[in-house]
Structure 1
Amino acid sequence: MYYYATYNAARSILAAQEDFHGETHTSAIHAYNGLAAKLPHPFNMIATHVKGEEYQAILPSYPDAVKVDLTQKFSNDRVVAQGMLRAYLSGTADWNVGKIKERLKREGKVQDFRTKASQALRDSKLPLKFNYLNCIFRYRGKANYRDTIFLPYGKKHSWLNPGYLHGLYVMSSFAFICGVAFAEKRIGKKRVVAFIEDIAGNLRGRDSAMGLELFWEDLVSNYIRSS
């Protein structure tokens, strides 16, 4: 939910701003590099290649943020959250570099990276930047699918943290708004209103949904009233 909400929001912005038609996750991630600087925190965070395997990870809106160890206990405050974001961005750069190196080995192009020639080949394959979409793509593999396995298994009830649920609600709402803005630009507001009115009146499952699962109802109602 989290990954596809933000990924599709980014695709909507890219399509509206740059006439983007890429079909793959990789093409969207690459195109996002040119968009990141125009977006607010944390969507503008970026890791820029320095040399070799080294990347400089920064939060442009909070350049003084200090990386926080993600394996240790942490306090619940904004400064720590910024440090965790920077740490995850830096770790995402390292993770992607590792994947590229392993691919080169698997393809038989190098055995290691001790020689200048092998290092030059590695460097030629490294992206100039890693961005927010790289981070959430990595997160998708780490948690997006695992949660559905672990949450329904065993005798212990692992109820989701209300703060986490609210975060998903905010991100999904953001994706909805971006999608509507893109649709208005592409096909016109009249057709978008007709589509949303149809969805609002005919979508199944509303009777059994609870609380934040119906986040979109307020968005839809407000949109229709303002049209």
Structure 2
Amino acid sequence: MEQWLLRRLFAHSDPPTPRFAYQSTVNWMAALSILCDSEAFSPAAMKSFYAAVQRRTVNEKADTWCFENVFMMLHNVEALGEMAEKCEALPVIRSAIITWYYAIYYAANGMVAAASGATPETHADTARIWHADIAAKGHAIGPFGLHLDTLVPSDVKSEVERLRCGNNFALTKEATDEADALGACVAYLSGTAGYVKDKVEESVRASSIFKELAVSNFRTKRAAQLRDERLRKRSVNFLTQAFRYRGKANYRDSVYLSYGANRSETLKTFLSDLETVASGFASMACQYMKRRVEKAAWERFVQDLDNNSQISVRHDVLGV
């Protein structure tokens, strides 16, 4: 059957190949879900992981910001659970990805509030501060801790090789075990690094300094230096990946989730994976936050939710 819309899209732009866009969207989440179902995310393992995290100096304002973000996080996790349990996947799948992102985003905001008292004003600020406060300090579990501190191509290549440790599993296939899942997560990290690098290169090409070089690429030493000066200051972490993922769902890639072949059965699993991963990240975040906020405040916060919240209070996520 002719796909008129897809033909029009390709005639007027250069979108990703439909098969690969769909595979990367679904397979990354499936890989994350496998790892979130692992022993590393059991309550006992997470408690042990954060056992050395010290309670910080009392900061009621930061704690309040932390608790507000946790409540918003819970609302999005609850929404995903309702979608996964009660909804047909196709009509809600794009909305579910956005809901998934905001569960991650609010959890990350809570973590940085608990870490340093920061109150980021933009999504980019949240990703940057979360990188410094959480990812770079080893305070994120499993796949959520994967990150790159620089995007200089040679550095990215060597770090990705180190993370892979010979595991060359690609996002074109669905992971079936934890080893494959880790390989898929490193592949998505590498792909996101390439995506951000391309954006930086576009910006460099538009600069007056680059134009003065009268070149069209970065093969010359000076052009490469200009690019690498900017790439050296950029990083990629789970928040960077999640924000990119949200954008892919909101814009052109989203057509591949609900157009062409009927993927309703696969998308049911995908919807469940979104809920599993959001719950895993949220549980991890709560284990960290409860170690940082004022003593006994976390328990009072949960008790207040039990008494006043109009949505379900996920004690398993909150770690109580």
Is the pair's TM-score, using the shorter chain for normalization, greater than 0.5? yes
* Residue in structure 2 matched with residue 49 of structure 1 by the alignment: 150
Letter in 1 for 2:293: K
1:135 matched to 2:241: yes
Asked if the contact 1:65–1:79 (Cα under 8 Å) also holds between the matched residues in 2, the reply is no
* Residue in structure 2 matched with residue 76 of structure 1 by the alignment: 176
Count of paired positions = 207
Letter in 1 for 2:184: M
**What is the correspondence of 1:1-227 to structure 2 with a 5 Å cutoff?**
1-34=99-132, 35-36=134-135, 37-49=138-150, 51-52=152-153, 54-55=155-156, 56-58=158-160, 64=165, 66-71=167-172, 73-74=173-174, 76-111=176-211, 112=216, 113-126=218-231, 127=233, 129-144=235-250, 156=262, 158-159=264-265, 161-174=267-280, 177=283, 178=285, 182=289, 185=293, 188=297, 189-190=299-300, 193-195=303-305, 197-200=307-310, 217=312, 219=314
**Structure with more contact order per residue of length (Cα contacts < 8 Å, sep ≥ 6):** 2
Letter in 1 for 2:145: N
Distance 1:156 1:94, change over 3 A: closer
Residue aligned with 1:122, SS: helix
Please give the alpha-carbon distance, in whole angstroms, between the structure 2 residues aligned to 1:140 and 1:147: 10
Asked if the contact 2:306–2:313 (Cα under 8 Å) also holds between the matched residues in 1, the reply is no
Letter in 1 for 2:314: L
> What displacement does 1:52 show?
4.8
* Residue in structure 2 matched with residue 209 of structure 1 by the alignment: none
Residue aligned with 1:46, SS: coil
> What displacement does 1:154 show?
8.1
Distance 1:170 1:195, change over 3 A: same
TM-score by length of 2: 0.52
More helix by share: 2
Please give the alpha-carbon distance, in whole angstroms, between the structure 2 residues aligned to 1:24 and 1:128: 16
Asked if the contact 2:305–2:313 (Cα under 8 Å) also holds between the matched residues in 1, the reply is no
> What displacement does 1:176 show?
5.2
Letter in 2 for 1:168: L
- Give the % identical residues: 28
Please give the alpha-carbon distance, in whole angstroms, between the structure 1 residues aligned to 2:317 and 2:209: 57
Farther off after superposition, 173-182 or 11-20: 173-182
Distance 1:81 1:129, change over 3 A: same
Structure 2 spans left out of the alignment, 5+ residues? 1-98
Letter in 1 for 2:309: I
Asked if the contact 2:210–2:223 (Cα under 8 Å) also holds between the matched residues in 1, the reply is yes
Asked if the contact 1:48–1:57 (Cα under 8 Å) also holds between the matched residues in 2, the reply is no
Please give the alpha-carbon distance, in whole angstroms, between the structure 1 residues aligned to 2:255 and 2:151: 39
Please give the alpha-carbon distance, in whole angstroms, between the structure 2 residues aligned to 1:138 and 1:18: 25
TM-score by length of 1: 0.70
Asked if the contact 1:44–1:132 (Cα under 8 Å) also holds between the matched residues in 2, the reply is yes
More strand by share: 1
Residue aligned with 1:39, SS: coil
Structure 1 spans left out of the alignment, 5+ residues? 204-216
Asked if the contact 1:151–1:158 (Cα under 8 Å) also holds between the matched residues in 2, the reply is no
> What displacement does 1:82 show?
1.3
Please give the alpha-carbon distance, in whole angstroms, between the structure 1 residues aligned to 2:204 and 2:316: 52
User: CA offsets, 1:121-168, max 9 Å, x none?
Assistant: 211111353211121122112225568766667895725544323322
How much is the aligned-residue C-alpha RMSD, in angstroms?
3.7
